[in-house]
Structure 1
Amino acid sequence: MDLTLATPVEIDTALADAYGKIADLTGQQHRITAQIERIDEVEADSYYSKLPQYSPEARAKLVDEHKALQRRIWDILDAEVYPREAEYNNRRWTRYYLVDNTNGHVHKDQDCSTCFDDTRYAWLVEQSGLSAEELVELAGEKACTVCFPWAPVDTLKRKTKLEAPERKAARLERERKKAEAAAKKAAKAIANPDGTPLKVFTGHYPERQVVRNGRVVKVHPAHDAYDTLKTLHAARGWLTDFYYWTKDGAHPSFRPESLEDVAKAVAHKEGKDVETVLAEAKKRAARR
């Protein structure tokens, strides 16, 4: 890739990725260093000194792993970091940083007087190269008034359009999983072809009175009861049940009009004709 033709966003995005790799490798080195220190602290001829994980061979292996990690870090620096930082030094485009907490502001560098030595920043690589005016327009309420003292008051009242890369990635992942779950649910769902709930008759209930202590305390009027089938699996099961329970004649809990409604819904969902859906249901019922 010709870095002289790359945009600031492309270069800084690659740099952020490279620095992330280095951070991961450095973390592994720290863990190895801690293991080596534990081995060095073991007293000679003690119980622990005789365990294999505290042996000179184990220590030597850890040292080799640490060196191998360091070589990988140097490779990343040479191949991915130094050339891009050199290109940045040649062109010197703008870079912006968001303090990584709930109320953090966007700064033009990491030396703002409102921040501290231990302040954690999120590098806004997608905004690299933007003018200060463009950045403030996006930052809105999160624009630092020390870094951008000229920022219009009206702009500072607007909700920010910026998001820390890691938080954005986490949000997008949550949204992806949510959409995936919704798609799976939709694939299993059933409804009438027009989208209305698929209801089936479950029985007729006559008027019923509840008598307690010699008095009528509740009256249930005569009514037809219905159930809503929400999944393709439930609808297919209902069709099977219909033919199973009506094989010896009509059944009070199954009505022909419900059969027609369910068959149409399943046929629409599966892309089949109603006759095929009914034939398949009859075969399933016959196998019981």
Structure 2
Amino acid sequence: MTGTKALQDQSPVEIDEQLYELYSKQAPFLNDIASASKALKRIDEVELEIAKGVTRNAWVVRDGNKERYETIVAEAKAGLAALRELETPFHDEFNARGGWTRAYVVSGGHVHKSMGCSTCFPTTRFSWVTDFSGHDEAEIVDAAGERACTVCYPSAPVDVLKKATRIFTEDERAAQADREKRAAEKVERDAKKAAKAIEHPTGEVVRDGYGYPTKTEVTAQTGAVDAYLNSLYRPTQIAGWGDGSTYAGTDEQIKNDEIVRVNTEALAFKRGTDVDTQLDIVREKAIAKFIKEFGTDEALAMKDELKALRAKNKARQA
């Protein structure tokens, strides 16, 4: 019974769902019988060989193998018998009502009204669609659409047979669910990638901290910070670096200034702010790094500027 409902009060769907569950439990027993029976057949063959003096496969029959496989078969058959005893009331109820419509679908094939269709074979694997048990045949055909077997449903309308099916096997539903899951995961990955992506509004090349082209927001900011930091490494003003060289106007300065300009413009475009705001964020991070890494008089002299930048940027976020 389903819950407290008597069998005679249950719908065809409820009855067939329980029957299907019992059928699904047969597989392990059937597999045991098949594999053990195959082993017993092999043992019989080897015993005949031994009787004829051929002993090269004698190991197959030693250590009580035959008795072990016979026990497996016997236990599996007993298990099947117990299941079939549980199935009997459901079959009796089906027969008492004069039967009802059922639907079976073949993987990659048609939807049939029974597993005895002449278009099928002994090896055909059916999937019982219990959701349609007891339903009107026209409803089943409509749901089957292009998969409706015209031998089982000879009166199926031509226009219905052109419709996409809504009946699938469990494996097909699982495969579809897997495809949908992978598609959803891809959408999520693409969304995360898009959220991290960055580009300059006019297509100029955004660069990372090593000067290489980049497509992500994080590395764009890092690139701008490192480029600005490089502009603070003025050799003639840092103790121990006095080699007489200058920084202003060099190719290095031009390159760093260009990275800062392009990247802050791209960051402003990405974040919906203005370039000055992004430049202040970059300057704050670059100066903080400069003070931490060098600790020179020049660096320490920028503490007040860093403090002011932090306050300014914090106020913008409020």
TM-score by length of 1: 0.63
2:193 maps to amino acid: A
Q: Are residues 1:239 and 2:221 paired?
A: yes
CA shift digits 1:10-33 (9 cap, x unpaired): 322332343233134312321222
Residue 146 to residue 66, structure 1, CA distance change in 2 (3 Å): closer
Matched position secondary structure for 1:224? coil
CA distance in 1, matches of 2:183, 2:39: 43
Unaligned runs of 5+ in 2: 207-212, 232-255, 274-280, 294-318
Higher relative CO (Cα under 8 Å, sequence separation at least 6) belongs to 1
Query: What's the counterpart of residue 132 of structure 1?
Result: 137
Tell me, yes or no, if the aligned pair for 1:239 and 1:262 is still in contact at 8 Å: no
Query: What's the counterpart of residue 252 of structure 1?
Result: 258
Matched position secondary structure for 2:114? coil
Residue 243 to residue 72, structure 1, CA distance change in 2 (3 Å): farther
CA distance in 1, matches of 2:224, 2:155: 75
Q: Are residues 1:49 and 2:58 paired?
A: yes
Query: What's the counterpart of residue 36 of structure 1?
Result: 40
The ranges of structure 1 where at least 4 consecutive aligned residues each deviate by more than 6 angstroms after the TM superposition are none
Backbone CA RMSD of aligned residues = 4.0
Higher helix share: 2
| Deviation of the 1:47 alpha carbon | 4.1
| Deviation of the 1:180 alpha carbon | 4.9
Query: What's the counterpart of residue 224 of structure 1?
Result: 204
CA distance in 2, matches of 1:224, 1:191: 19
1:133 maps to amino acid: A
| Deviation of the 1:70 alpha carbon | 2.9
Tell me, yes or no, if the aligned pair for 1:239 and 1:263 is still in contact at 8 Å: no
| Deviation of the 1:129 alpha carbon | 0.8
- 1:68 pairs, out of 71, 75, 78, with 75
Aligned-residue identity in percent: 26
Q: Which residues in structure 2 correspond to 1:1-288 (within 5 Å)? A: 1=2, 2=5, 3-42=7-46, 43-44=49-50, 46-50=55-59, 54-79=61-86, 81-91=87-97, 92-98=99-105, 100-102=107-109, 104=110, 106-112=111-117, 115=119, 118=122, 120=124, 121-156=126-161, 158-182=162-186, 184-186=188-190, 188-191=192-195, 198-200=198-200, 224-226=204-206, 229=215, 234-249=216-231, 250-254=256-260, 255-260=263-268
Tell me, yes or no, if the aligned pair for 2:32 and 2:72 is still in contact at 8 Å: no
Residue 76 to residue 238, structure 1, CA distance change in 2 (3 Å): farther
1:132 maps to amino acid: E
1:108 maps to amino acid: K
| Deviation of the 1:65 alpha carbon | 3.0
1:185 maps to amino acid: R
CA distance in 1, matches of 2:199, 2:63: 74
Number of residue pairs matched by the alignment: 238
Residue 107 to residue 253, structure 1, CA distance change in 2 (3 Å): same
Residue 69 to residue 119, structure 1, CA distance change in 2 (3 Å): closer
Unaligned runs of 5+ in 1: 205-222, 266-274
